[in-house]
Chain A
Amino acid sequence: DAGITQSPRHKVTETGTPVTLRCHQTENHRYMYWYRQDPGHGLRLIHYSYGVKDTDKGEVSDGYSVSRSKTEDFLLTLESATSSQTSVYFCAISTGTLQSTEAFFGQGTRLTVV
């Protein structure tokens, strides 16, 4: 599992509340990613990080923010949760460089916004 831990694994929250999901890695990889997975859409990139305090947006970043204050932790925050953000969220890291870059995933967080 490349030492990736996501917490919480399941969460139910109310519309309008802020929510923070945590991704922790044990192997000091530089690149970390947050994806959401929805039926019919596959995995879509929300944000990614290429180092401490270095982050960039993915294709579905609206309504989400991220922070990376330590190499091992990458936090995803839903600033004001909406029902459209009900999804399964996956954290990933990538190892290697260029052609040898390989992605590894955490077990996911199932978030329900009611």
Chain B
Amino acid sequence: KQEVTQIPAALSVPEGENLVLNCSFTDSAIYNLQWFRQDPGKGLTSLLLIQSSQREQTSGRLNASLDKSSGRSTLYIAASQPGDSATYLCAVKNTGNQFYFGTGTSLTVIP
């Protein structure tokens, strides 16, 4: 069974800092990896999708990378802002019909 881990569980940074969130998975036979943002009491918002044949995807200040062979992905957030404060989750899609989620990293950006 696919296991997805996100470290750290919580992160607090001052505004303006660049930061990296980590996601690791045990089974490298994935179709893709997706990063989500979740605000308190809300649903998950898709941020980036990296297909297994890709190495990275970028959207604005966000850059996600994927190293499938080592079972790792990182989400880089540049010039963090207080509005970036949220929980960030990663999910992998295997060859079956399921998505497997990490438990998330809770990010606080301090003004």
Binding site for B on A (CB under 8 A): 1, 31, 33, 35, 40-45, 48, 50, 56, 58, 90, 92, 94, 98-108
Q: Is the CB of B51 within 8 A of A100?
A: yes
Q: How large is the interface on B (under 10, 10 to 19, 20 to 34, 35 or more residues)?
A: 20 to 34
Known: A102-B34, A103-B93. 7 other contacts (CB 8 A): A42-B103, A58-B98, A94-B99, A103-B99, A104-B46, A106-B43, A108-B43
- Residues of B near A92 (CB, < 8 A) are 44, 99
B61 within 8 A of A: no
Residues of B with C-beta under 8 A to A106: 43
CB contacts (< 8 Å) of A94 on chain B: these are 99
Residues of B within 8 A of A40 (CB): 103
